[in-house]
Structure 1
Amino acid sequence: MTPNQIEYLLRSIRILETVGRRGSFSAAAQELGMTQPAISQQIAQLEHVLGLTLFRRLHRGVTPSDAGQILHTAAADMLARMRTAMTAIEASNVQTNLTVLTDYGFAANWLLPRLADFESQHTALDLCLLTTQARQTGAASDQADISILFGKKPDAAAGACFQLFAEEVYPICSPRYLAGMEPVTSAGDLVRGRLLALDSPAQNWFTWEDWFRLAGHPMRQAGSRNSLLFGNYPLLLQAILHGQGIGLGWRPLIDDYLQSGQIVLAWPEPIRSERGYFLSVNAERKNLASAFRQWVVEQARSSPFSTAQ
């Protein structure tokens, strides 16, 4: 069958179904955007090819013959199947996966414990969680729909990027460790404890030296008796949980541990900066990311210390 023949057959099926359903050449012509004579001619040609009378012409409208009714039913069924198939194809081409880029600490200590709530509300959406060591804000990565990264407040030109959490850093330890220390009456008293620190602190993260200086007790004056260094923050956090000493804790990464009582604040006053966690959406995928963005903002706002807009 040639392309022209295929086109003729498909057009004839469409016209046959419409005429049979509307019961009038004029009504079918109006629906299909054709003229009444063109519809009449198309049906006449089809009847000639088949050697059958498909419609009986009445004073007003038409009615299908027995053969016409059989073909109309088959045509209507075929078109319905094609519409169903096209709908399925279109649905299969719709992106249903959402890629979120963040750092490991935010993913492990804040996002993952809450993610089941989002998945229960959006069961058809598949999440892909990417982690990075980057500490910078700005537009979402090309490979991600949404980025939640730590860094400085972006310029106004950075686009749709806004702050979820401001940087707040507290000295934290386990309840058992705090109970075994002498009473802490000033920030400077913390130097008597075992200070847990990163061996190679990532750029833009506060160090113990920063903390004591901003708290008004320069570390060089106090002098630390001992310390324990770690290569990454997850290991340091585990050491804190196991009562090995005092470390620095970033909100919101420590919120769940504080709420559960696994860790406590060794000193209640934090140090702060203009840095924090900022959320940005890939402009090309903003429609897909809107549900996740709204959910993250609501989760952030539920925190008593949230700075989410």
Structure 2
Amino acid sequence: MTPNQIEYLLRSLRILETVGRRGSFSAAATELGMTQPAISQQIAQLESVLGLTLFRRLHRGVSPSDAGQILHTAAADVLARIHTAMKAVNASTQQKNLTVLTDYGFAANWLLPRLSDFENRYPELDLCLLTTQARQTGVANDPADVSILFGKDPDPVGCDSTLLFAEEVYPICSPRYLADMGPLAGVTDFARARLLDLDSPAQHWFTWEDWFRLAGQGTRPVIRTRNSRLFGNYPLLLQAILQGQGIGLGWRPLIDDYLQSGQIVLAWPQPIRSERGYFLSINPDKKDMAAAFRQWLQGQVRSSPFAARA
């Protein structure tokens, strides 16, 4: 068949199905965005080609003949099959969207440098990365398919959640800063250092007060005077550490790549561990599509030189 013949056949099938279903040339014309005379002419032309009467013209509307009813049923079946096939073809070729929600620190310092590997492995997935600084209360109510959020418990209850990284906090600084200051033999030696701290209580960040308390010091050995500097967010604090402005607190895995590259060093080797960590949560409605991302992410965690300690 030529393209024109295929087009004519499909148009005729669509008009035949619509007229038979609606029982009126006028109603079919309204549904198809055509005029009533155009519908009537198309049906008359089809009847002439087939040598059959497809519809009996009534005072109000039309009624299919026996032949018309048979062809209407066949037309409806063919159009339904074509519609199903087109949906299947479209789904197989359409780029699939995967939305990942996490906080800015994890996205910028750990996830983003690794995403090119995921995109190379799964080119059919179009990944959208969203960041938030607020602890979410329900992945199922969020637009995200996957959430990687920091907290004490999996979020939310009932979702498929996995601990990726337990929280480990280290005092960190640039190699030059540590060389200029000299090694720290004990916790009290931190009095010689400029301590870079976060001043964002709404985010419940681990602070120097927390670190000294858990390290056994009780209270910090220096007050916030010339030896302290406050920052409103962690990316700024991390930049200050990289520039050698003092000692700050670093979270694994956020600092893993900086440690591996030698841009920062541990000013104190013993970590402070807590019950918190980064949890991977999968939206139950998107479980199948998120499976590839989950498998890839867990592989990245296992291959990290600083693997998670649950």
Shared fold per TM-score greater than 0.5: yes
Partner of residue 57, structure 2: none
Partner of residue 296, structure 2: 295
Contact kept, 8 Å, 2:148 with 2:278, in 1: the verdict is yes
Q: Determine whether 1:89 maps to 2:90.
A: yes
Letter in 2 for 1:178: L
Q: Determine whether 1:195 maps to 2:195.
A: yes
CA distance in 2: counterparts of 1:101 and 1:156, whole angstroms? 14
Partner of residue 277, structure 2: 276
Letter in 2 for 1:267: W
Letter in 1 for 2:120: S
Contact kept, 8 Å, 1:171 with 1:246, in 2: the verdict is yes
Partner of residue 207, structure 2: 207
Residues 8-31 of structure 1, C-alpha deviations (whole Å, 9 max, x = no match): xxxxxxxxxxxxxxxxxxxxxxxx
Matches within 5 A, 1:1-309: 5-6=16-17, 49=50, 85=86, 87-91=88-92, 96-135=96-135, 139=139, 141-154=141-154, 157-221=157-221, 223=223, 226-307=227-308
CA distance in 1: counterparts of 2:156 and 2:133, whole angstroms? 24
CA distance in 1: counterparts of 2:213 and 2:189, whole angstroms? 13
Residues 276-305 of structure 1, C-alpha deviations (whole Å, 9 max, x = no match): 000000000111111001111111111243
Contact kept, 8 Å, 2:137 with 2:156, in 1: the verdict is no
Partner of residue 36, structure 1: none
140 and 269 in structure 1: CA distance in 2 versus 1, 3 angstrom threshold: farther
223 and 138 in structure 1: CA distance in 2 versus 1, 3 angstrom threshold: same
Alignment RMSD (CA, Å): 3.3
Q: CA deviation at 1:197?
A: 0.7
220 and 119 in structure 1: CA distance in 2 versus 1, 3 angstrom threshold: closer
Structure 2 segments unaligned to the other structure (5+ residues): 1-11, 19-46, 53-80
Letter in 2 for 1:305: F
Residues 79-115 of structure 1, C-alpha deviations (whole Å, 9 max, x = no match): x9988745433446x6611000000000000000000
Letter in 2 for 1:133: Q
Contact kept, 8 Å, 1:168 with 1:250, in 2: the verdict is yes
81 and 266 in structure 1: CA distance in 2 versus 1, 3 angstrom threshold: same
Residues 160-181 of structure 1, C-alpha deviations (whole Å, 9 max, x = no match): 1110000000000000000011
Aligned partner of residue 206 in structure 1, secondary structure = coil
CA distance in 2: counterparts of 1:301 and 1:308, whole angstroms? 11
Contact kept, 8 Å, 1:138 with 1:158, in 2: the verdict is no
Q: How many residues align?
A: 245
Letter in 1 for 2:253: P
CA distance in 2: counterparts of 1:283 and 1:231, whole angstroms? 35
CA distance in 1: counterparts of 2:193 and 2:160, whole angstroms? 43
Letter in 2 for 1:280: S
Greater Cα shift, 147-156 or 125-134: 147-156
Contact kept, 8 Å, 2:100 with 2:146, in 1: the verdict is yes
CA distance in 2: counterparts of 1:308 and 1:221, whole angstroms? 30
Q: CA deviation at 1:200?
A: 2.1
CA distance in 2: counterparts of 1:208 and 1:140, whole angstroms? 35
CA distance in 2: counterparts of 1:226 and 1:234, whole angstroms? 20
Structure 1 segments unaligned to the other structure (5+ residues): 8-45, 52-79
TM-score with structure 1 setting the length: 0.70
Identity of aligned residues (%): 66
